[in-house]
Structure 1
Amino acid sequence: MLASKNILLIIGGGIAAFKALDLIRRLRERGAGVTPVLTRAGAEFVTPLSVSALAGRRLFSDLFDLTDESEMGHIELSRSADLIVVAPATADLMARMAQGQADDLASTLLLATDTKVLIAPAMNVRMWEHPATQRNLGTLQRDGVRVVGPNDGDMACGEHGPGRMSEPLEIVAAIEAALTDGPLRGRRVLVTSGPTHEPIDPVRYIANRSSGAQGTAIARALADLGAHVIFVTGPADVPPPEGVEVIRVETAQQMLDAVQDALPVDAAIFAAAVADWRVKDAASSKMKKDKGGLPRLEFAENPDILAHVAQMTEGRPTLVVGFAAETDDVFANATAKRARKGCDWIVANDVSDGTGIMGGAENDVTLIAGDGAEDWPRMGKTQVAARLAERIAQALG
């Protein structure tokens, strides 16, 4: 699959740089050519000689190499590769990529390219979880940068958590997926995301605290695996990802209509936090305060979009995935919801006060299926999305 492919490998400055040496070996075993770029910080962890010897090619590190720059070498390097891989991608390198800086060879190559880019983040857990890093990650993903990892585990600094660079073979698999459009190529996948807004009058509505971050991350991860994603989103706090078909809605009924119009699909993932109720007869003009009493609102039940699709007798998606945001008895309530709705999987999470899940950057989920349940460690919503997308790809064969 990688035979005759040319990989431009940028090695950032972190202890995980030693894994880049094995990555080079694994890529060359599969017939790929590797052109290495070593940052100044990266050279503090691995030597130019070892990198160049394993790659079997000249190593590049200096932007102001007069011989190369007389021929605009950084432009040629950035565009002659089939894929640019950054491993490890440190917090600093990710920040400079997100801001469009070009103050060394690595960042200039990344800014001057129109080639696909894949990054393998690696850093301390607190650095990874910092809002600035997560903002930069979101910016890069919206720009079309693909991401593999990071993994959970023990770190050189003695801490434990997400931040370990993916193993070389995991990165090789991500490279193969990036170069072949991924295992979901040719599949249509529907993702709902965000809250719904149910009007009370023209200026007031019923809503919830969903930011849409998890659904957006899932859509992006599925697109990265090659799927054609139909992304039906309510009024979310985060922008939709690039490379997906976006359908914007406000209410639960509008979301149901959009879902029905999108069918048939191979898989449907219902990550939206749809309001259970709406005002039966929303006012056509702004409701005013009346002396001596409060307005009386009569509620009606919204359509159950998940159950509607999961219980279809014709044209049902092969895989239907629901979400259960619970505050009490999470596992029991989510398991009962899966049975009641008729979906294949339920992704359950605890959104009670103090968890920081609803509207936050992380998630702590349990994947419940017909053959059992999996407790996943708490991780960033991007990592939850990547893991779920891989499981969906496996389920669809």
Structure 2
Amino acid sequence: METITYSLKGNQKNSNKYYNEINSFADDVLNGFEGFETQVISDFMSYIEETNMGKISSYNEYVFEFLMLGVFWRVYSAKAANLDKNPQKILENLVKERNQNEPAKETIDIIRGMIMKPFLLSENSDSPDLTVVNFKKILAYLKAAGDFNQELKRLEIWKDFLNAKDPEIASQYLANAFLFADWFEYKSKLVLGQYTANVNKFLAEKHHEHLFQEDVIFCGRREVEYHLNMVGAEIMNRSFRKEFEKRPRKAIILPGCMKYSARAKCRAQDTDLGLKCMGCSKNCNVNELTKMGDEHDFEVYIVSHESSAFSKSTEEDRNELGIIGVACVPNLIAGGWKAVSLGIPAQCVLLDYSSCKNHWDEKGFPTSINLNQLMTLLHTDKLNHVEPLSYTI
């Protein structure tokens, strides 16, 4: 079986080594930040408190957001500089309509795909100056792309913060973010590159198949963006861990691609939190996880997309639940932040590799998660001997 973009197993039989290494590398990233201008985080936290922008998060979360700012600048600033306002607004409005009009999603995505290629993939050869004006252009580009809703909520606050600064100070902060991202790209390649060895091959050989499709930006994520989300998942797990453990109810949120549908139509029933497995197929690993949940007191739901996650959750759910989100690397951070924005503390478990037929493979093929990691997050040690589950697409 060929790895399409990433594999947490590398050349191992499971992904245990990855989880050990990402734990250590997250420490290296947080410690490495100390070599840059760290005043920006305390300055940013003071700004949030003074302007009442919301609940203050942890220092480490803001370090990750600052790193994300720098990575997005490196990846998207040249493309954003080329995007005119008219197509940007058209694409942004299509994204809004798509999220609000479920029956029209398919038609809207066809239109988006036709517009995205000519307007979102063209880029300047020169890197734009590190100014707030150009940072705003990056945010406009991300809105047009439609894949960064949760990231934008945080970066919009950084935009307001930088906009309130003297232009020279704002440019210096942006320069530090750029340099931090440059350092991160080099270091993450050394440590995590073994798990993302096929990303560049996919971009060179397969990404063109997504041109004129609405997932052209999603499937075009660069290797450093995979590494960013890997580290972000680890930092989020640490930041939300205590609140997660306090919650009386635990739920596993699975992506729709993990349903078994090769021979029978899934009979999962809709609930306020997502689809609930009805055990219609013994071959379905969602069914197997649901049985484990019955034994070890956790709930299991299937959610097809971050935009629909928890949209029907009740106040009781939001007060009682702690969730573990399962997703592929490019999808993970958005889902976790969506839960946290609703007051539901989240933990993350990555799919060992992605292979769904929606984005990565014409037919789709089995993927897996690290069951040890899942049960460790749940403090359920009885199943530590079990091999990772294999999910059939």
- TM bin, normalised by shorter chain, reads under 0.3
Q: Which has the higher strand share?
A: 1
Q: Which has the higher helix share?
A: 2
Q: Larger relative CO (CA 8 A, sep 6+): 1 or 2?
A: 2
Based on CA coordinates, which of the two structures has the bigger radius of gyration?
A: 1
